[in-house]
């Protein structure tokens, strides 16, 4: 491993980590475009590759199973993932990441013309098509629009999704956002990421807990502002300039939303509105034409203090925010 750096193993601390797994990160030289992280616990060896994988280093035991690293997007409504994080997911997909996708609400109240049942069925199919465009694995919603509540049962359901995805990155809404479905979905996503390694938190359906760290990142709130109108400045920006058309293609799968958003929120052409919001974040970055902003959740109970897999995986398409809070 020429010029590689091999930091000392770190012991994980956190809920459910009673087996004391060890964690190592190896980084190969940039010209090889290869980063490998590994975790090991008794009788288990998990290897996770970041960035474009060329070949496993020859020193690794051949008996170790290999998996691609996984990122899970958890949002409220069908179309939120596409609008807030579609570019970031596509950037991860380019680097070989395994993507997972769930809208916790079924979208059934987002219509003035269809019944709830009809609307839920239409939006389910739209979301599945969009998920295919993004290249992600689809998970069905767990409740109806406006029924997002923080309950143990809902936490158990979201925990099952986190565990099934084996994600090392969870992407979700801003903790402070313009409407309750977004904020509750965010809280459930954060708690499910926290409890992914807690064997005594029984998920619905039952899925075995896992021990690898999970790092949570929050997207920008809708309109880049809190419900009280304060500007939210992300920690860093992901360039989505050359992926904007693919992001719009995914969003356009939610065809039933055009009429609804025209009527309910005055979003004349929500595809164009999404382009404008994407450009606004790009202007905030002072670097990219189109961008998505992210804030990393504190590590306690989730991951190691210096774990930052999203920044690591996308480091060539990221710019840090201006600490003075510069905006467009
Ligand atoms: Zn939404």
Task: State pLDDT tens for residues 8-37.
Answer: 333 333 333 333 333 333 443 344 333 444
Residue, of 298 and 269, whose pLDDT is higher? 298
Position 322 confidence tier, pLDDT thresholds 50, 70, 90: confident
- The whole-number pLDDT of residue 61 equals 47
Ligand 1 mean position, distance from CA 89 (Å): 17
Ligand 1 mean position, distance from CA 61 (Å): 45
- The whole-number pLDDT of residue 8 equals 34
Ligand 1 mean position, distance from CA 271 (Å): 15
Q: What is the mean pLDDT of residues 182-200?
A: 96
Position 113 confidence tier, pLDDT thresholds 50, 70, 90: confident
Candidate from 44-53, 86-95, 191-200, 265-274 with smallest mean pLDDT: 44-53
Ligand 1 mean position, distance from CA 322 (Å): 28
pLDDT of 4 > 80? The answer is no
Q: What is the mean pLDDT of residues 186-197?
A: 96
How many CB atoms are closer than 10 A to CB 8?
Answer: 6
How many CB atoms are closer than 10 A to CB 181?
Answer: 25
pLDDT of 132 > 80? The answer is yes
Ligand 1 mean position, distance from CA 174 (Å): 11
Ligand 1 mean position, distance from CA 90 (Å): 20
| Mean pLDDT of the chain, nearest integer | 81
Ligand 1 mean position, distance from CA 53 (Å): 35
Q: What is the mean pLDDT of residues 236-264?
A: 88
Ligand 1 mean position, distance from CA 80 (Å): 5
pTM of the complete model: 0.80
For the packed helices 180-194 and 152-165, what is the interaxial angle rounded to 10 degrees? 60
Ligand 1 mean position, distance from CA 105 (Å): 9
pLDDT of 264 > 80? The answer is no
Residue, of 54 and 269, whose pLDDT is higher? 269
Ligand 1 mean position, distance from CA 206 (Å): 28
Ligand 1 mean position, distance from CA 110 (Å): 10
Query: Where in 3-109 does DSSP place strands (E)?
Result: 10-11, 22-27, 35-41, 44-50, 66-67, 70-75, 98-103
pLDDT of 255 > 60? The answer is yes
Residue, of 303 and 26, whose pLDDT is higher? 303
Q: Could you tell me the two tokens for 192?
A: 């499910």
The long-range contacts involving 46-52, CB below 8 angstroms and separated by at least 24 positions, are: 46/212, 48/168, 48/212, 49/96, 50/95, 50/309, 50/312, 50/313, 51/95, 51/96, 51/313, 52/95, 52/96
Q: Where do the domains of the chain lie, and which CATH numbers do they carry?
A: 10-67 (no CATH), 70-320 (3.40.50.10320)
- The whole-number pLDDT of residue 136 equals 97
Q: How much of the chain, in percent, has pLDDT values that exceed 90?
A: 62
Q: Is the peptide bond before 199 cis (omega within 30 degrees of 0)?
A: no
Q: How much of the chain, in percent, has pLDDT values that exceed 70?
A: 75
- The whole-number pLDDT of residue 19 equals 38
The 10s digit of each residue's pLDDT in 38-69 is: 444 333 333 343 333 434 444 444 444 445 78
Q: Please check whether residue 100 is in contact with residue 136, taking contact to mean a CB–CB distance below 8 angstroms.
A: yes
- The whole-number pLDDT of residue 69 equals 86
């Amino acid at each position: 491993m020429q010029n590689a750096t091999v930091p000392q193993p770190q012991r994980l601390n956190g809920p459910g980590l009673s087996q004391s797994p060890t964690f190592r990160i190896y980084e190969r030289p940039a010209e090889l475009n290869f980063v490998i992280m590994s975790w090991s616990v008794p009788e288990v060896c998990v290897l996770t590759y970041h960035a474009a994988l060329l070949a496993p280093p020859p020193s690794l035991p051949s008996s170790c199973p290999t998996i691609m690293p996984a990122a899970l997007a958890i949002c409220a409504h069908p179309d939120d993932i596409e609008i807030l994080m579609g570019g970031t997911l596509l950037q991860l997909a380019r680097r070989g990441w395994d993507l997972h996708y769930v809208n916790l609400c079924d979208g059934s109240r987002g219509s003035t013309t269809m019944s709830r049942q009809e609307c839920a069925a239409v939006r389910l199919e739209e979301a599945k098509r969009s998920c295919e465009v993004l290249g992600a694995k689809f998970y069905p919603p767990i409740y109806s629009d406006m029924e997002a509540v923080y309950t143990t049962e809902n936490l158990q359901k979201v925990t099952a999704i986190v565990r099934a995805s084996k994600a090392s990155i969870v992407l979700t809404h801003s903790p402070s956002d313009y409407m309750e479905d977004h904020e509750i979905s965010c809280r459930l996503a954060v708690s499910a990421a926290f409890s992914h390694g807690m064997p005594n938190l029984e998920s619905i359906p039952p899925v075995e807990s896992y021990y690898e760290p999970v790092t949570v990142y929050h997207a920008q709130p809708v309109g880049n502002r809190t419900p009280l109108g304060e500007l939210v400045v992300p920690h860093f920006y992901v360039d989505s300039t050359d992926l904007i058309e693919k992001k719009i293609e995914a969003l356009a799968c939610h065809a039933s939303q055009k009429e609804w958003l025209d009527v309910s929120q005055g979003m004349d052409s929500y595809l164009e509105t999404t382009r404008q919001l994407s450009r606004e974040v790009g202007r905030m970055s002072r670097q990219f034409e189109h961008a998505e902003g992210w804030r990393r959740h504190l590590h306690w109970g989730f991951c190691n203090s210096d774990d930052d897999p999203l920044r690591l995986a996308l480091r060539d398409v990221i710019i840090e925010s201006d600490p003075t809070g510069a905006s467009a």
